[in-house]
Amino acid sequence: MSTRITVNGEFRLVDAGPDTPLLYVLRNDLGLNGPKFGCGLGQCGACAAIVAGNLVRTCSTLLRDVGNDHVTTLEGLGSLENPHALQKAFIAEQAAQCGYCTNGIIMAAKILLDRNRNPDDEEIKDALAEHLCRCGVHNRVVRAVRRAAVELAR
């Protein structure tokens, strides 16, 4: 049961049923590590990715609902060798401890900066209100998003 999907700019054929949550397709069929299983309930945000320009919880998005929409994951933003401004900013601010939730936070910040090039702290916090972090790096995350906004505006 092959399904076509476009992830990080590439067409891929995956051998997964249409009812498969996107998270498992990304992680297990495509070998991507960015989206993480956190709750499976759409509550924590660790699994977030961008589908058709919108932030989605991949644990509760079915493959059938993705269709021809383009999917972007953390890996699609940048790489170890060529990181995205957000990834660089998170490293510069050391805005992670365990880093497990950071995928969703960076993806949400990407959507925020796509829509608001110069968010203030309150706007950043509001954009991340549905993303849980347990290590307590929230203030560093806010600084990192601000830093990335400055970098992207250059």
Contact 48, 22 (CB under 8 A): no
How near is the Cβ of 75 to another protein at its closest, in Å? Answer: 4
Residue where the block lists tokens 């916090």? 125
Contact 20, 59 (CB under 8 A): no
Contact 34, 75 (CB under 8 A): yes
- 9 exposure class (CB count in 10 Å sphere: 0-12, 13-18, 19+): exposed
How near is the Cβ of 36 to another protein at its closest, in Å? Answer: 6
How near is the Cβ of 118 to another protein at its closest, in Å? Answer: 18
Q: What is the DSSP string of 67-83?
A: TT-EEE-HHHH--SSS-
How near is the Cβ of 135 to another protein at its closest, in Å? Answer: 5
Please report whether residue 134 would count as binding another protein according to CB under 8 A.
yes
Q: Using CB under 8 A, which residues numbered 28 to 87 contact another protein?
A: 28, 31-34, 36-41, 43-44, 46, 73-75, 78-80, 83, 87
User: Which residues of this protein are in contact with another protein, per CB under 8 A?
Assistant: 16, 20-21, 24, 27-28, 31-34, 36-41, 43-44, 46, 73-75, 78-80, 83, 87, 90-92, 94, 96-103, 106, 122, 124-126, 128-142
